[in-house]
A = this chain, B = another copy of it.
Amino acid sequence: MKFQLTSQLDYEVKFPSTIIFSVCAADTHSQIIVSENLSISPDVKFDEMTSDFSGSRFIRVETGKAQTLTLKYEAVVEQQIELIPVEKIKSTQIGKLAGDIVPYLFPSRYCQSDRLGRFAVDYFGKHETQYEIVVAIASWIYENIEYLPGTTDSATSAFDSVTQRTGVCRDFAHLGIALCRAMSIPARYFTGYAHELNPPDFHACFEAYLGGRWLIFDPTRLSHLNGLVRIATGRDAADTAVASVFGRINCTSMSVNCVPAEDGYQPFSHEQLEQQAVCLEPASKKIKDN
């Protein structure tokens, strides 16, 4: 499926600053950039770099003496997802994880899985398969945490949310990741564009590593799992901030949009998760192979 993405971020620059933006669609074997345009005005210095260990693309901007800054991004991406029948999803044995997956078992800034072990086992230990555990975690979050903008901030972590029980997509994702890791299931943070997200904004979900693949889950249920376009992947929001600022700037406005760029889009419903999981990085189906 092809999606058309646009985003625009406007800033007031208080002080010459370096900003690392994470707004470009990731360029992977299963998500290819059909066309793309990034413009920054005024005409300041910027470059692109890619993190080796997350594949995320960073746009690094030096504001210099600019007093305002507008970043505008437009792209069409083509995405190949895989729907995997639940009965084919194997559990992951820690004893067989590849070395670059292991770190996603460990706690991170906002996902203190080391402190959630008993809670996780109490609530999710009864499920038989790892897939059932992850589905139960995502459902539990959906049912028990209220989506309530303004109740959390950039210091809020999974350990807070599990008790305070309010938050936004970022907090929902952190809690999902922390609970998966506490159950010895590798999990990572996903940021991206989401079709029909209301209100329009960047979105955060989480991916769990099951049977050799990263499967996507959205405990807010605000997106469709086949309507997501990946920007970045990380251990948590600390790795994937839309804008990491080294200096002093204020965001004055933001707009984000994501729509299908071809016909035939059928939204995947959260109920379908009982039959099928969604993988945004299908190992076997490269787009170029099609």
Contacts and interface: CB of A to CB of B under 8 A. Distances in A.
A261 interface: no
A188 to B, nearest CB: 12
A82 interface: no
- Between A109, A159, A239, A246, the greatest number of chain B beta carbons within 10 A of the residue's beta carbon is seen for A109
Given A108-B238, A119-B164, A184-B246, 4 more contacts: A18-B94, A58-B99, A107-B238, A109-B111
A162 interface: yes
Interface in A110-126: 111-112, 114-116, 118-119, 122
A124 to B, nearest CB: 14
Interface in A150-177: 153-155, 159-160, 162-166
Interface stretch (A33-41, A48-56, A210-218): A48-56
29 contacts: A18-B94, A18-B95, A49-B99, A49-B102, A50-B99, A51-B100, A51-B103, A52-B52, A52-B99, A52-B100, A60-B94, A103-B234, A103-B239, A105-B244, A106-B238, A106-B244, A107-B238, A108-B108, A108-B109, A109-B112, A114-B154, A114-B155, A115-B155, A115-B164, A118-B146, A122-B165, A159-B163, A162-B163, A184-B246
- Between A50, A62, A94, A166, the greatest number of chain B beta carbons within 10 A of the residue's beta carbon is seen for A94
Contacts of A162: 163
A144 interface: yes
Contacts of A239: 103, 106
A225 to B, nearest CB: 27
A217 B155 CA distance: 28
A141 interface: no
Interface string A66-103: 00000000000000000000000000011101111011
Contacts of A244: 105-106
A229 interface: no
